[in-house]
A and B are shown apart, each in its own frame.
Chain A
């Protein structure tokens, strides 16, 4: 049997991107499959990354750009895996690609079509903090810099005779006639790089998320602070006012999920930097339990973000109550309950298995653990030739994800060559 050296990578976040680069360098043809219309995953939502507060866009954009220009990498956006058969060195994979309705080759990403579109809807990429058009890219700077038409909200696909975007396009890139298509590929190994999800904090009603507009999730704060985000980097309350007193709440859902996500302490410290920079007068209180700072640069980072423990409150948040415009953070400290009144609360929800993990696991024929994450031994899944990397097998930071991406890429090469499970 001749073994197929092509590799399928599912998920074009930082893990999938780095694995693609390595496999391409090693001489493999990569099929990189991404569910959304753009690449970059969760990391592109961040303005800066801990612990060196490096600009995330500056770090990721060149890697993304290089990927788009790599002849060994075949990127399939808006695509999901529908079926998989075979074994290491000889898999047949069935993919389902949704139509973009915009020609990737003709479009130059000028954005003229967005202005013309009459539809306005919630922008999920911005955590619902802004509106988008039916034809759009999620935010400035996402790649490929080519919009897509969201069929679910576009009025043309609801029977109206709208051609606004097509008329606005100077390059004849808008193609209403595109259709969803099924693709079949032969590959030698499969890498699963679908990342993690975050817990829906509405599961914890005592924290008043969704009840009071002053309560935010950490991803919402990331987008508020992002210069390409809905407020162009202004950290503000939902009514546009600047907060005066901000509570950062650690370990949200940790007990419920029996899981320390391992990244929240560090990104909440990073938020101190965001807040200090954008709102120098605002007071910040950090309600924390055990601080998890496991890397060699993290202790220095703590010292820089919270000198002399400034703003650190070792306490468990019991509940958050609404009092007019304000929020009362009721917390237990040294066995006693105490109250702090703030006007903004940022929750750090536990990382969870990725959305759709159950269906994906079934499609790929690999096992999930009781907690819903993929079962791994190192980066090997329960099925030979399929490797799991990054947040899909448990919470990971960017560094850990990249290490696993490289390790899994190596495992895939081995699986292809030897038909082993690439452990």
Chain B
């Protein structure tokens, strides 16, 4: 079938026509290969303009459409929709941005007109080499697997489980909380670990292993809820930390009781040391100052005779409650000293605490009990899991978010989410909120009974050209490329591919191209632009 290309030039009110001579431009485009109609319009994005364009597509029997107007950022979806209304595959339309890239930035009217003509001819050359692309969908499994049965796993599961969605919760710990096991629609897998993951968003196969037995679970999405833990004395590495009167602040304050019971009578000195292990981990955990202040308040009630002191660095208590708690601690007369812990030593009944002040000088203090407020690190086994499931991790070993601000519960792998303190140190409130957020995101993106829309402009491998070097596999961040052992060539899984084009750049044999941006298309487009 011969191409019948229609070219429609938008004047954008006067935005384009002030700078581009439309009357001169139109004849410059007539006669370009395949072009059967060139026409200008005052404002194509207007309601009337859209109806006109859809009607033109139908009436003229166009096979390809070029819209010379504004930035596709603004109106690509508009004109793709117009194509559909006119009965044309929306990928057979190309926009030429003659407003932002021409009229608004080219001061000479004659030059601007010439430039617009080149841009439009380039778009024509590209679009005539375009094949229609189908809009594809895939069936999706609404079930979800949650890795980790702590607070974040429990909250996420309770929000997601229901009659239409089964939730699996996996934990290394053989016994899981009753809050989880009693939830309707939740299946728990205690004492299990994730061994392998295959598939993609909507259709994952997760292999679980427990002592001697294996099991496969099919789900549509995964949530990493592996949590965090306190650094250990050993990891902190302070000299003398094995001293008997040194303890790491426990999650449950009741764990301090034996130490309090062992305190000497009178007015024993109890010292809280902040930022224990901070230098080693390389970040401020952000939640410990407040935890420490709450523990100090508990201490005032539990051991009223104790003389409290606090060796701290910069106090980090963002938000409404933190500052009040901080002022409260100052109010009870705790002695506050700015310093970085350097060493501990048990000397007789007391522990000597050595520290460095901000000006570099060394200070010393002694206490009957030293409570180290520990930095927070990813939980045991998180690293191994991250490697198995293939999500990105930051330098500290926490799961990296897809975008630190805008996508705080998504990861680098579509369909694998993260909640709670698996992505960074969190307090209880932040953990719950992140878990609610992850559940909400999954509920919206993986709706029971709904199919998933797939990217139309995926990459494709030409098997005849592929040498099987597998460069493409190393640069694909989505894991969308597979190696066919029999054919010894690479193959794109079009369900996973997002059309980013990394693989195209990496292929030394020009065997890969993205649909809609093939070598031929881009080459011809450039040729027309610079001719």
Contact = CB atoms under 8 A, between A and B. Distances in A.
Interface stretch (A22-30, A174-182, A230-238, A323-331): A22-30
B78, B286, B287, B444 — most chain A CB neighbours (10 Å)? B444
Contacts of A379: 433, 436
Nearest to B317: A260
Given A171-B13, A403-B437, A413-B440, A395 B406 contact: no
B434 interface: yes
Given A259-B323, A296-B396, A290 B315 contact: yes
A371 B320 contact: yes
Nearest to A107: B13
Interface in B27-69: 43, 45-47
Contacts of B314: 290-293
Report which residue of A112, A406, A409 has the largest number of chain B beta carbons within 10 angstroms of its beta carbon. Answer: A406
Given A260-B317, A399-B405, A410 B323 contact: no
B77 interface: yes
A313 B178 CA distance: 52
Interface string B259-287: 00000000000000000000000111111
Given A293-B314, A395-B319, A410-B159, 9 more contacts: A171-B13, A290-B316, A291-B314, A295-B424, A378-B436, A399-B408, A402-B405, A406-B438, A410-B440
B424 A296 contact: yes
A407 B319 contact: no
B447 interface: yes
Contacts of B358: 314
A378 B434 CA distance: 10
Nearest to A68: B74
B236 to A, nearest CB: 17
A263 B405 CA distance: 14
Interface in A156-191: 170-171
A155 interface: no
Interface string B391-408: 000101010000011101
A400 B433 CA distance: 9
Contact of B404 (A69, A290, A378, A399): A399
Nearest to A54: B405
Interface residues of A, number: 60
B444 A25 contact: yes
B456 to A, nearest CB: 18
A1 to B, nearest CB: 20
B322 interface: yes
A332 B14 CA distance: 61
25 contacts: A23-B444, A105-B46, A258-B327, A259-B319, A259-B320, A260-B317, A262-B319, A290-B314, A290-B316, A291-B316, A292-B314, A294-B287, A294-B318, A295-B404, A297-B404, A373-B320, A378-B433, A395-B318, A399-B404, A400-B430, A404-B433, A407-B433, A407-B434, A407-B437, A411-B440
Given A65-B74, A399-B405, A170 B14 contact: yes
Interface of A: 18, 22-23, 25-27, 49, 52, 59, 61-63, 65, 69, 105-106, 108, 110, 112, 170-171, 254, 258-263, 290-300, 314, 369, 371, 373, 378-379, 394-395, 398-400, 402-404, 406-407, 409-411, 413-414
Nearest to B278: A299
Nearest to A263: B318
A292 B439 contact: no
A229 B429 CA distance: 37
Given A294-B286, A314-B358, A407-B437, A110 B316 contact: no
Contacts of B433: 378-379, 403-404, 407
A335 B46 CA distance: 68
B398 A296 contact: yes
B319 A299 contact: no
Contact of A410 (B327, B424, B437): B437
Interface of B: 12-15, 43, 45-47, 73-74, 77-78, 159, 282-287, 314-320, 322-324, 326-327, 358, 394, 396, 398, 404-406, 408-409, 424-425, 429-430, 432-434, 436-441, 443-445, 447
A395 to B, nearest CB: 6
Contacts of A407: 433-434, 436-437, 440
Contacts of A105: 46-47
Centre residue among A69, A105, A379, A403 by max chain B CB count within 10 A: A403
Nearest to A257: B323
Contacts of B409: 403, 406
B47 to A, nearest CB: 7
A25 B12 CA distance: 32
B404 A403 contact: no
Contacts of A298: 283-284
A49 B43 CA distance: 36
Contacts of B322: 260
A171 B287 CA distance: 56
Given A18-B406, A49-B405, A65-B73, A410 B436 contact: yes
B398 A261 contact: no
Given A110-B14, A379-B436, A299 B283 contact: yes
B256 to A, nearest CB: 25
B284 A378 contact: no
